[in-house]
Amino acid sequence: MPLSLSLPFSPRRIVIGANAHAGIAAAIRRRRPSLEIRGAPFTDLTADDLAWADTYIGFKRPPTIASMGNVQWVHSTGAGVDGWLGPGLDESILLTRSSESFGPMIAEWAVARIFAVQQQLASLAEAQRDRRWAPRDIARVAGTRALLLGTGDIGRAIATSLSALGVHVTGVSRSGESTHPAFSTVHRIDALPDLAGNADWLVLSLPDTPATRGLVSRDVLARCRGAVLLNAGRGTVVDEAAIPEALDAGWLRAAALDVFVTEPLPTASPLWSDRRVMISPHISGLTTIDGAASGFLECVESLERGEWPRWTVDRARGY
Ligand code: OXD
């Protein structure tokens, strides 16, 4: 189905579906005072807002509205675009994604958890609460081995931080091509089952696409030998139901999870009460107001010049 907008294109009426809509609108207005902008948290938008707008900015589709109205262009403010592709955005609507680099923040998330595990922070905090003097051996992070699934912007930032700490970093990607010197080697995805047994840290930063869904299957988990699983990509990449078994069997030593198959993570999930699991509520890489506004305006400038933005989503690949 052809796109409904044609080049050059100048958006006129923008609707922003985000909690931070007022800040994003103000940042856009500072550079483009003539744009008309409406905004609300994405769950509060109405069919009237979407009928009014030609352009939508937000991480997810408004849940209760079936039609995107007169919207011809959606600019996604998140790192992943599954919030748009999952529900099946009409192919006549241009989909672009944020230019913001989430890598440095996600790398800090990963490093924090790796040190928390290695320095046994949780059990030391418990001992302190009990006024218990509990000496133990602490292992170094330097000299350990990380296997990173995802060698894009986020994977590269994680690789850079970990290799600076003396971690030996191997990558796995679709192409198997080395994209950054922080990776000592990069393998094709089909090598994953063989590589899993050598990893101390199995770090995921993959989007949700047909190719990544279920990639870290129970079989791959069963090949691990005491790795710590860190997931800042998408919950669907891992067989989440197999994680408790993987921990009990010692395939995994611990897990640090920022993303889940269902978010918020249901209260009935056994992961909540497992002391070997560190849960964070999808906060490893956060969109900033300036990042959201600049990414959008960069796309506006391309469209006005008559060019497709470099941040246009390849729907077949899913990112
Ligand atoms: C994401 C985000 O895509 O939070 O996960 O931006």
| Domain parsing of the chain, residue ranges | 13-100+287-304, 103-279
Q: What is the pTM of this model?
A: 0.94
**Whole-number pLDDT of residue 116:** 98
Query: Is residue 54 within 8 Å of 72, Cβ to Cβ?
Result: yes
- Asked if 13-100+287-304 and 103-279 have one fold, the answer is yes
Average pLDDT over residues 163-174: 97
Answer whether 17 contacts ligand 1 (Cβ < 6 A).
Answer: no
Burial of residue 81 (number of CB atoms within 10 Å: 0-12, 13-18, 19+): buried
CATH class for the domain made up of 13-100+287-304: alpha beta
What is the distance of C-alpha 12 from the center of its chain? Answer: 30
Query: Is residue 138 within 8 Å of 119, Cβ to Cβ?
Result: yes
Kindly give the distance from the C-alpha atom of residue 240 to the centroid of ligand 1, in angstroms, as a whole number. 19
Average pLDDT over residues 99-119: 97
Question: What span, in angstroms and rounded, lies between the C-alpha atoms of 195 and 210?
Answer: 22
Q: 27-31, 56-60, 256-260, 315-319: which range is least confident on average?
A: 315-319
The average confidence (pLDDT) of the chain is: 96
282 catalytic per annotation = yes
pLDDT category, 79, cuts 50, 70, 90? confident
Phi and psi torsions of 197, nearest 5°: -70, -15
21 catalytic per annotation = no
**Domain 103-279 listed as CATH 3.40.50.2030:** no
Q: Which of 282, 311, 319 gets mutated to test ligand 1 (max ligand atoms within 8 A of its CB)? A: 282
Query: Is residue 204 within 8 Å of 154, Cβ to Cβ?
Result: no
The residue whose C-alpha atom lies closest to atom 4 belonging to ligand 1 is 78
- Please choose, from the candidates 180, 128, 136, 126, the residue with its C-alpha nearest in 3D space to the C-alpha of residue 157: 180
pLDDT category, 25, cuts 50, 70, 90? very high
The residue whose C-alpha atom lies closest to atom 6 belonging to ligand 1 is 78
